[in-house]
Chains A and B, each alone.
Chain A
């Protein structure tokens, strides 16, 4: 199913992932029942401000500068709700700089779950609510509605494709793994087997050349220069239609520090691409209009961009991860019947995939990446701490139920009930 008239230029979509979990503080066995704060927002503030200074602000201003110079540049962001909320509270300048980027018209935002969660695995309702909450947040901050969906850590399967179609998304982005491509190239647009949803596949080799291998001196291609990299891109677009590159935004200045030259690399690469005669940068919504699927792609089992396996094993690969996840999921009904927004939000922040990522017991290269991100000394500490928090949350839910039952029955006329309920547990910060 080739296009009748191949356009002279082929396309490049560059998408950056921005995510920050709301990290937990130490919560010991004897803290269970106290209901004291679960989140170490002091630590979160320090981390958010550090990453803002080293990455988000310099990278955003670099992009602003480049877009002014080359208006044909297109950049896509997916920013989790937990990152947006924490940026609003701890580093509002970053939100403003994203708003400036949004105002250029050269930048587009993707949809994802607000809490960067694995919610599609346990509850479609929950999954949908979190996507809607994220859409509202993006709309509120950047004045645009995402048309393309990317699930947490590019986790995708046919079912997720169907749900995203039902929610009105025209496309999804996932990992271009060899298993589902089965010999085909990731550098085209594909289509869901039974929905009109377009599927964009991340070119993980070219993406990871920047995200992982850029600083690896033992890599045969080290050092990676903009000229070399753009030549690789050119080789692809001369034959094929669309390169989807995506990586953590924190690649720039955080994973690779500024002194590695990563910002200069980004600047020179984008400049070369903007001036390139064969490469045209596109936003996902443009690609949806411009490109036709070459084939359908079936993904019966969940895939993702994480670890060597590129499946769910980064978060649910061992028993402690699965038991922790199940324990949290079981609280869904009871937390929702309390009607307390505070308890519900807390439960949702505990769904963030990072909490389970820290409990991974994988060794080798994967293990090193997990350790790099984890604030815990071991997966077992991550597990114990998390379970203590979940135990406390389930007690708070029970307590809330008892209290509101008494309040309802004995003291309060129905119209004031809601106010009583939501003031049950005082909040320091509104998340």
Chain B
């Protein structure tokens, strides 16, 4: 069985859960006789995996679109001056800023590698014979829509040249690519929903993205949703028949246990929020609950780690509540800093408004931290030894925080039990379900 898989991120170039999920899933799929051709917009020497073949879309020769052939001087495609030697061969295309549908991971962090990597303009290098190699940024930058479209054109080329049995596309960014590949190959298409526009934005959806998502789901032969929560959104907002959707929960990547537990200097009792600071993650509920906890326990410290478009508003909210001395913002964190934070964290809270799955509670448990999660998350369907609250219920959230601070036996028990539990939430299990689906589709 050979799968042509389209992704947008792959380690080490990740800014969110999508890359991690693709990595975990493909690793486990490769344990069976499933072969995977994994296409990413951009790859370099660091992007390697022995189990699968990585195809770097930036290396694929694609015929110029009619628009680019006819109108290279159009306002939004500006030619820059080629060097003399290569004058006839090279045109650098720059595409003007258009939109940023994903909240870019880090506006404020400055020089982190991720943010640098995210703000590149896409370029195309035209070879003799009127073909182009698009240089994808593989990011969620302002010219994302253009990149998604070009990625689809690249997919046509790949699908024509490679042989495979099934097409598997991860999230809307790759759906046009999946559809394009299906068109030329007539192979079955599986689309995998890790998040929808409704999760990211609530009710202010970008209609262009919504349309791409729906077209992908309609064109697909089967749909994989990462949770029942997500499946419900697909049936409700995208009018997808429930029978077409299969729920496959994500797994947790086994991680080396960081044995040296270090207290953070700010104090013994630290409650942490870690994730993008965006509407979807519900940061304001965490802050409001923190203020309530501080009324009872003035020595507790709160950490909000990560960045996102709501960071300034959240800083202001904390200041308005006059709790800045107990509430710390870290900005975007690197891996080793996240480990450090986990080791000093007493309670982890994920108050997401709409979380298709939510991998960070699993990471917290692996790091020995008890968790509080919102009922509005996919991970709540598979984790039972955690405290679950509705994201809007600040009283309940504050109460849960206080209880975990007050009763060490409770947090110890939760940690022990949830650790046992997540040992069974594996990518191998997810891969098993997906392999069964592949066989159904090719039977």
Interface residues of A (CB under 8 A from B): 28-30, 32-34, 318-320, 322-324, 326-327, 330, 361, 377-378, 380-381, 383-384, 387-388, 390-392, 394-395
Contacts and interface: CB of A to CB of B under 8 A. Distances in A.
Contact of A323 (B108, B312, B324, B340): B324
Contacts of B331: 28-29, 384
Contacts of A388: 328
B322 A29 contact: no
Given A33-B265, A319-B319, A395-B266, A378 B108 contact: yes
Nearest to A321: B319
A29 B330 CA distance: 5
B421 to A, nearest CB: 31
> Chain B's interface: helix, strand, loop or mixed, by majority?
mixed
A28 B315 contact: no
Contact of B328 (A320, A330, A391, A395): A391
B265 A387 contact: no
17 contacts: A28-B330, A29-B303, A29-B329, A34-B265, A320-B315, A320-B316, A320-B319, A323-B319, A330-B325, A361-B316, A380-B315, A383-B315, A383-B324, A384-B329, A390-B325, A391-B325, A395-B266
A30 B337 contact: yes
A328 to B, nearest CB: 9
B110 interface: yes
A171 B312 CA distance: 43
A286 B337 CA distance: 61
Interface in B16-52: none
Contacts of B81: none
B296 interface: no
A400 to B, nearest CB: 14
B414 interface: no
* Of B108, B264, B265, B328, most A-chain CB atoms within 10 Å: B265
B320 interface: yes
Contact of A380 (B311, B328, B340): B311
B315 A377 contact: no
B312 A380 contact: yes
A330 B325 CA distance: 10
Contacts of B110: 377, 381
A68 B264 CA distance: 62
Interface of A is mostly: helix
Contacts of A391: 266, 325, 328
Q: 4 tightest A-B contacts by CB?
A: A33-B265, A319-B319, A323-B319, A29-B330
A382 to B, nearest CB: 11
A29 B311 contact: no
Given A29-B331, A319-B320, 16 more contacts: A29-B303, A29-B330, A33-B264, A322-B319, A323-B322, A324-B324, A326-B322, A327-B325, A378-B312, A380-B311, A381-B108, A381-B110, A384-B315, A390-B325, A391-B325, A391-B328
Interface in B310-341: 311-312, 315-316, 318-320, 322-325, 328-331, 337, 340
Nearest to A394: B325
Contacts, number: 73
Contacts of A387: 324-325, 328-329
B325 A320 contact: no
Contact of A29 (B312, B315, B325, B328): B328
A326 B326 CA distance: 13
Nearest to B263: A33
A319 B266 contact: no
Contacts of B320: 319, 323
A380 B277 CA distance: 14
Interface in B274-322: 303, 305, 311-312, 315-316, 318-320, 322
A377 B111 CA distance: 12
Interface string B108-125: 101000000000000000
Contact of B108 (A33, A320, A380): A380
B149 to A, nearest CB: 32
Contacts of A34: 265
Contacts of A377: 108, 110
B265 A395 contact: yes
Contacts of A330: 325
A34 B305 CA distance: 19
Nearest to B314: A380
Contacts of A29: 303, 305, 328-331
A320 B337 contact: no
A34 B265 CA distance: 8
Interface string B233-251: 0000000000000000000
Name the residue in A29, A388, A390 with the highest tally of chain B Cβ atoms < 10 Å from its Cβ.
Answer: A29
Nearest to B303: A29
Contacts of B337: 30
Nearest to A26: B110
B314 to A, nearest CB: 9
A120 to B, nearest CB: 21
Contacts of A28: 330-331
A147 B45 CA distance: 70
Contacts of B319: 318-320, 322-324, 383
Contacts of A384: 315, 329, 331
Contacts of B328: 29, 32, 387-388, 391
B243 to A, nearest CB: 48
A32 B316 contact: no
A318 B316 contact: yes
Nearest to B327: A387
A34 B264 CA distance: 11
B288 to A, nearest CB: 15
Nearest to A388: B328
A390 B326 CA distance: 11
A258 B371 CA distance: 61
A299 B331 CA distance: 43
Nearest to A379: B312
Nearest to A330: B325
Contacts of B303: 29
Contacts of B266: 32-33, 391, 395
Contacts of B108: 377-378, 380-381
Contacts of A32: 264-266, 328
B318 to A, nearest CB: 8
A249 B320 CA distance: 36
A322 B305 CA distance: 23
A387 B324 CA distance: 8
A380 B330 CA distance: 11
A231 B325 CA distance: 54
A36 to B, nearest CB: 12
A359 B62 CA distance: 49
A322 B330 CA distance: 20
Nearest to A34: B265
